[in-house]
Structure 1
Amino acid sequence: MAPEAKGNRKQAPAEVTQILAPVVSENGLMLLETELTKAGKYSTLRVIVDLPEGPGDVDLDTIEQVARQISDALDEADPIKGSYQLEVSSAGAERELRDAREFGRAVGRLAQIKTEAGEVFGRVLSVSETGVEVETKTATQLVPFMQIIKAQQVVDLSGAL
């Protein structure tokens, strides 16, 4: 599958994902996303990795190690035509929360959740099969996954919660 016209972002070809997944997994991480961006003659392959579960962050040494191994694997298999820049990163401090696993990784952290009924801002306390429990300034709320339109982990330096 070829990338879209210049300036467009597209999920990297399946062949790239098949090459990267085992390399990432061997480092105790999971492959969240691969994106190939082409702008004119320049291409960038973005690879986003994360811990499989639980709290914590991917440290820079691990990112550096997995980036080297990914680069080696891509050089050997050569699945992308032409030259490209490789960017490997974690999902970040203000990551989007899209499923129960990602909410589980956010336990103890702040989240902004947009639902059908409005917005909820608070600390993620727990996650179940059906929803997420969030402590707000005024109460503890259970937010069903089915009602979540969009959610994002946030960093609040003000100490508001």
Structure 2
Amino acid sequence: MAKSSQRNRKPHTDKRRDNDALSSSIAVAIEPIVTGENLYLESVKVGRAGNRAVVKIVVDLPDGPGGVDSDSLGAVSRLISARLDDVDLVEGAYTLEVSTPGADRVLTTPRHFSRSVGRLISIRGADGTAKIGRLESVEGDTLYLKGDEGTYTWALSDIESARVHVELSNSQADSED
């Protein structure tokens, strides 16, 4: 009978729990820096790439339309890097990635929807209904989506998934040249 070797490894769920705890500790350490730069800390995730930790941080504007400009992103990245070096939460070498949610973000919170007013979005309801339209407004837990057939009203709790669509019109494309 062959003998199987066993390694002393943590189960996968323990690693995930450790990464979640580390992500939470990092969020607590950097949130004052992010808010001090007039930004919102969207998420912190810790993973691995080979034998290096990868710390992924997503920042956004707190409210209103628009996005984080590259100067602000660079400045907050440098401040976060310095803070992580000071608090020494991540063992060994790590890669720090600081980014924004992106133009075609998935919408999951009331804040995401409020920031997307005026944008073209697609929504799939919990009942399977799917619509694409322009997000007109968000009032409390209700959003108003203007589609080809009129305005649709959705309770946020009835939305299974929603995503912003990237739009490039000729005037936008011309102004970016």
Do Structure 1 and Structure 2 share a fold, with TM-score over 0.5? yes
In structure 1, how many angstroms separate the alpha carbons of the residues matched to 2:100 and 2:16?
Answer: 22
Structure 1's unaligned 5+ residue stretches are: none
Cα contact 1:48–1:89 (8 A) shared by 2? yes
For 1:135 and 1:151, locate their aligned partners in 2 and report how far apart those are by CA, in whole Å. Answer: 15
Shift of 1:158: 6.9
Counterpart in the other structure of 2:118: 108
TM-superposed CA distance for 1:51, in Å, is: 0.8
Whether contact under 8 Å (2:24, 2:44) holds in the other structure is no
**Higher-strand-fraction structure:** 1
Q: Deviations over 1:27-64 (max 9, x none)?
A: 00111100011133022100001111111111111000
C-alpha deviation, 1:87, in angstroms: 0.5
Question: How many percent identity over aligned positions?
Answer: 33
Cα distance, 1:107 vs structure 2? 0.5
User: For residue 139 of structure 1, what is the aligned residue in structure 2?
Assistant: 150
Q: TM-score, normalised by structure 2?
A: 0.81
State whether structure 2 residue 119 is matched by structure 1 residue 119: no
Does the Cα contact within 8 Å between 1:8 and 1:38 map onto a contact in 2? no
What is the identity, as a one-letter code, of the residue corresponding to 2:92? G
Max Rg structure: 2
User: Could you say which residue in structure 2 is the equivalent of 1:22?
Assistant: 32
Q: 1:120 & 1:109 partners in 2: Cα distance?
A: 14
**Partner of 2:75 in structure 1?**
65
Once superposed, what is the RMSD of the aligned Cα atoms? Answer: 2.2
What residue is the counterpart of 1:152 in the other structure? Answer: 163
**Residue type at the aligned position of 1:107:** V
How many angstroms apart in 2 are the aligned matches of 1:147 and 1:27? 34
For the residues of structure 1 that align with 2:55 and 2:41, how far apart are their CA atoms?
13
1:128 matched to 2:144? The reply is: no
Aligned residue for 1:104, secondary structure, equals: helix
Question: Residue type of the partner of 1:156?
Answer: E
Question: In structure 2, the residue corresponding to 1:64 is in which secondary structure?
Answer: helix
Q: Quick one: distance in 1 between partners of 2:94 and 2:80?
A: 13
> Residue 49 in 1 paired to residue 53 in 2?
no
1:94 aligns with 2:104: yes
- The residue that corresponds to 2:6 in the other structure is none
Spell out, residue by residue over 1:66-96, the C-alpha distance to the aligned partner (whole angstroms, 9 max, x if none).
0000000001111000111100011110111
- The answer to whether the Cα contact below 8 Å between 2:121 and 2:163 also exists between their aligned partners in 1 is yes
Task: Report the counterpart of residue 80 of structure 1 in structure 2.
Answer: 90
